[in-house]
């Protein structure tokens, strides 16, 4: 028997089609009235529709969110929000927009309504990663977690296929590591297995037919479940390694998760055979690590760190950085073990 504790997420979740029409109502539900709309230029049309539906409550728009939440961007957005007496942020976009929303909420106490358009899952976690002078640090606080999350499947229909695949595998990583987390519990286990099978089912459908509504809905729902796992239990080697590769070498977030996940799973497999067998069943594959690798390959996702811009001589430095502090993981992390994992991920070798 494994003892556990479980804290349910207090966020309000609304899921469906055409959900952006409900944003004004959600702002009023929070008792707020002065909104900053955060959305990149790429989402101009959606931002315009939301701004119109908010009417007088939309007081300012900011379009400068970028990956890894740099402090300079947060400072500029915060100044703008304070000048307009903002009390709520409506963030529409991927993990980058959500990250900026969280950074603002943490500093100024704004309420947050997040409308995710990727599968990153940040919207349901109390975690914020920020970069300052090239260093990425992470903190966790209940004040960081958004009050309301609105999943609107329509907004994901145009997400480019390459981003769809890598972002979905980013979600898969949250579910995989939740299953072997030292804090795992029966509820996150259920969510994680459901997320893995949902992603494995939906992704090939979307690759064939990117605007398939049922496939998109299943993937978005799986991403919510996987993100909830990420927000509930601690992660292991895979997340630590991707954090290092993203923060220290500038590798792109979701593609890095996509390349590393099968190799992190193959590394951990001997320590958690039962978990890997449950994951393989959820994937409909004979082996968990190769099942993920083959899914990525079939969906045209990246399989090598080399193609993401990492040079071979950075492997040694990455091993040093990723082994510099202890963290929970089912299998002991040694420099030779990690070095082999990274060699395999760099060259894209299919896990055995």
Tell me which of 114, 155, 206, 342 binds ligand NAD, using CB under 6 A.
155
User: Least Å distance between CB 47 and ligand NAD?
Assistant: 12
According to DSSP, the residues that pair with 284 across neighbouring strands are none
- In the structure encoding, which two tokens stand for residue 329, read together? 């993981």
Q: Give CA torsion, residues 323, 328, 330, 334, to 10 deg.
A: 10
Helix (H, G, I), strand (E, B) or coil at 68: coil
Number of residues that bind ligand NAD (CB under 6 A): 29
Q: Among 11, 122, 181, 268, which residue interacts with ligand NAD (rule: CB under 6 A)?
A: 122
The whole-angstrom separation of Cα 227 and Cα 232 is 9
Residue 258 as a binder of ligand NAD (CB under 6 A): the answer is no
Q: Which is nearer to ligand NAD, 65 or 276 (CB)?
A: 65
Considering beta carbons, is residue 236 or 351 the nearer one to ligand NAD? 236
Tokens 């990455």 belong to: 318
Binding status of residue 99 toward ligand NAD by CB under 6 A: yes
Site for ligand NAD in 43-82 (CB under 6 A): 67-68
Q: CB-side exposure of 312: number of CA atoms within 13 Å?
A: 5
Contact 58, 32 (CB under 8 A): no
Distance CA 187, CA 302 (A): 32
Region of 160-168, 185-193, 196-204, 275-283 interacting with ligand NAD (CB under 6 A): 160-168
* Residue 118 in contact with ligand NAD, rule: CB under 6 A: yes
Query: What is the spatial distance between Cα 242 and Cα 125, in angstroms, rounded to a whole number?
Result: 17
Minimal distance, residue 106 CB to ligand NAD, in Å = 12
51, 81, 87, 94: which one contacts ligand NAD (CB under 6 A)? Answer: 94
Binding-site member from 21, 25, 42, 84 for ligand NAD (CB under 6 A): 42
- Sheet containing strand 35-39, strands side by side: 12-16, 148-152, 111-116, 88-93, 35-39, 58-62
Contacts of ligand NAD in 165-194 (CB under 6 A): 167
Residue with tokens 């929070």: 30
Q: Does 117 bind ligand NAD (CB under 6 A)?
A: yes
Q: Are 128 and 139 in contact (CB under 8 A)?
A: yes
Q: Which residues bind ligand NAD (CB under 6 A)?
A: 40, 42, 67-68, 93-97, 99, 117-118, 120-122, 125, 127-129, 155-156, 158-160, 163, 167, 230, 253-254
């Amino acid at each position: 028997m494994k003892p556990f504790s479980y804290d349910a997420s207090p966020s309000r979740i609304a899921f469906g089609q055409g959900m952006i029409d409900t944003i004004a109502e959600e702002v009023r539900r929070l008792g707020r009235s002065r909104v900053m709309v955060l959305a990149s230029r790429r989402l101009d049309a959606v931002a315009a529709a939301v701004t119109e539906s908010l009417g007088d409550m939309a007081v300012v728009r900011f379009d400068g969110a970028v990956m890894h939440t740099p402090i300079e961007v947060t400072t500029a957005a915060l100044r703008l929000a304070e000048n307009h007496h903002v009390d709520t942020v409506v963030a529409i976009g991927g993990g980058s927009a959500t990250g900026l929303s969280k950074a603002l909420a943490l500093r100024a106490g704004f309420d947050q309504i997040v409308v995710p358009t990727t599968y990153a899952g940040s919207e349901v976690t109390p975690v914020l990663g920020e970069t300052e002078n090239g260093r990425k640090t992470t903190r966790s606080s209940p004040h960081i977690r958004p009050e309301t999350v609105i999943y609107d499947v329509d907004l994901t229909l145009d997400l480019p296929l390459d981003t769809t695949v890598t972002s979905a595998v980013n979600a898969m990583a949250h579910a995989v590591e939740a299953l072997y987390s030292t804090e795992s519990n029966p509820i996150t286990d259920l969510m994680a297995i459901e997320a893995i099978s949902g992603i494995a089912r939906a992704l090939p459908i979307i690759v064939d037919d990117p605007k398939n509504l049922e496939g998109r809905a299943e993937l978005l729902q799986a991403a919510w479940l996987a993100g909830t796992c990420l927000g509930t239990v601690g992660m292991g080697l895979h997340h630590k390694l991707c954090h290092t590769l993203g923060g220290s070498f500038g590798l792109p977030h979701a593609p890095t998760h996509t390349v590393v996940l099968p190799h992190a799973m193959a590394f951990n497999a001997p320590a958690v055979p039962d978990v890997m067998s449950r994951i393989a069943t959820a994937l409909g594959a004979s082996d968990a690590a190769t099942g993920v690798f083959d899914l990525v390959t079939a969906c045209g996702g990246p399989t090598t760190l080399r193609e993401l811009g990492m040079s071979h001589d950075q492997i040694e430095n990455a091993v040093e950085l990723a082994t510099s502090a202890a963290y929970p993981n089912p299998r002991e992390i040694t420099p030779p073990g990690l070095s082999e994992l990274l060699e395999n991920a760099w060259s894209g070798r299919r896990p055995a």
